[in-house]
Structure 1
Amino acid sequence: MTGSEGSRDNGPVRYRILGTTQALRPDGTAVPLGGARLRALLSVLALRAGRAVPAGLLVEEVWNGDPPADAPGALQALVGRLRRALGAEAVASADGGYRLTAAPDDVDLHRFDRLAGEGTRALADGDPEKAAVVLDDALALWHGPVLADLPDRTAEAA
């Protein structure tokens, strides 16, 4: 199974970061992710879905400013664990860092932003019924505090 390329279950993996970090298979079941650092890594990558995140920033965010002695090796090991959980193609090496291969709309935060914009435009266009439906869909994406699994939710990623 891969990030945005889907799987035999006909659809992409969806990522939640509006609450506890989760990866959901197309059938809605959660992918077991393991420990807090793995969820923090996925959170930082999902914030920038489809874009490269420099290794230094990943280390800073995942270890909350207290990196291990061999930070590059520890990050590589963590990325390897994430790839085993999500599928090898879900996390690509890119430009001195890594990127989640998901489309932005496969991440609840980015989908929320899109739906909130659509709702705001519907209100501005005088269509409160459409706005209510779209904004309800946006609010339904929230499952707790944003970036709940990021050690420092005031960090650059947030």
Structure 2
Amino acid sequence: MEGVEVRFFGEFEAIEEGVPLPVRGAKQRAILALLALQRGQPVSADRLIDALWGDGQVANPANALQAQIAQLRRTLGAAAIVTSEAGYALGIGPDDVDAGQFERLVADGRRLLGEGEMALASTVLGEALRLRRGEPLSEFAYAGFADAERAHLDELTLVAIETRVEADLVLGRHRELVGDLDALCREHPLRERLWELLILALYRAGRQAEALRAYTEVRDRLVGELGIDPGPALRALERRILAQDPSLDFAVPAPPRAVAALTSTGNVRERLSSFVGRGAELEQLSDMVRSSRLVTLIGPGGVGKTRLAVEAAAALRQDHRDGAWLIELAGVKEPEGVAPAVAGALGA
């Protein structure tokens, strides 16, 4: 099935040269999903029949399966589905499924973090998170056969987020991480690692009291809902904050390896939390950026101008050969400081 990619994230679909293939009918789509889950390994006819007609309402399920396979071959190509004694398999490799690409990038990012390559780790994990266009395999949420894969990809997404935040904290991005981490802790209130990262980001941002309040909140949640105390890592972090342990302070990391090939689309970070309620504004801003060389957002502080601008930049970066770049000018006090800030952001 050369040139075809199967997408689990967002709308389930098979893509050939950027164009969705018309896989129609619930049974055909379920067969495609069942085969794609195995990343090119065979699935037995019995397993397919059990997943599709386990209710016994089809008189001859073997014939029904063959008919559905034949129709799927007409859509995907005659060589798309390989038949063997072991069953049926898609003619694809792991990287022909977006979930396979996601798994590889997350593994690469975690390896780079372990090697101390924080900038590279953050970039690679950002590429992984951009693949998550929506919930995985949501079309089959009630089918049963996709439950394990959905749970696996959801957990791996949280691992990718946590690992990227860990890298970004080492890179000194604690202030910009606080808002996203706070939202993530509300979405996953019992996930201790997220709270640990939020508390550390708050502390490094000079917000020690808020960091301790966050610890109290997660401790009370764990005790109240699960009847357990925070784990050793969280308890140790609280003690170190109370003692104002110097090792918690931000330390300038060693210069990273070159990341030019990985950052060709700019330095705009993938947002970790959802962006809802401002879709109309985002669409309007995106249209204005496409038609104008300069667009300025104005308004009182705190209304979300920067967040809206970053969301628009992330949405439009693929439209521009050199991507989208964020230049932080909040700390620039004099006009002559603008050029160095731009050069620094561009890595010049």
**Residues 13/155 of structure 1: CA separation in 2 closer, same or farther (3 Å cut):** closer
Query: Quick check: 1:121 aligned with 2:108?
Result: no
Residue 15 (structure 1) aligned with residue 18 (structure 2): no
Quick check: which has more Rg, 1 or 2?
2
Which deviates more from structure 2 when the two are superposed, residues 73-82 or residues 14-23?
A: 14-23
DSSP 3-state at the match of 1:18: coil
Match of 2:67 in 1: 77
Gaps of 5+ in 2: 150-348
TM-score (norm 2): 0.40
Q: Which aligned pairs between 1:26-105 and structure 2 lie closer than 5 A? A: 26=17, 28-63=18-53, 65-67=54-56, 68-105=58-95
In structure 1, runs of 5+ residues without a counterpart are 7-11
TM-score normalized by structure 1?
A: 0.84
1:30/1:59 Cα in 2 relative to 1: closer, same or farther (>3 Å)? Answer: same
Whole-angstrom CA distance in 2 between matches of 1:91 and 1:138: 28
For 1:19, the aligned partner's letter is G
Q: Deviations 1:103-143 (Å, cap 9, x if unpaired)?
A: 11101111111111001111111112111221111112223
Residue identity opposite 1:123 in structure 2: L
Say what the alpha-carbon RMSD is for the aligned residues. 1.8
Question: Could you tell me which amino acid in structure 1 is paired with residue 4 of structure 2?
Answer: V
Q: How much does 1:154 deviate?
A: 5.5
Q: C-alpha displacement at 1:36, in angstroms?
A: 1.7
- The structure with higher relative contact order (CA 8 Å, sep 6+) is 1
Give the letter for the 1:22 counterpart.
E
The structure where strand makes up a greater share of residues is 1
Identity over the aligned pairs, expressed in percent?
39
Using the TM superposition, give the Cα deviation of residue 156 of structure 1 relative to its aligned residue in structure 2, in angstroms. Answer: 7.3
- Deviations 1:50-106, CA, capped at 9 Å, x for gaps: 21100111122234x324221111111111111011001000112241000111110
2:16 — aligned with what?
25
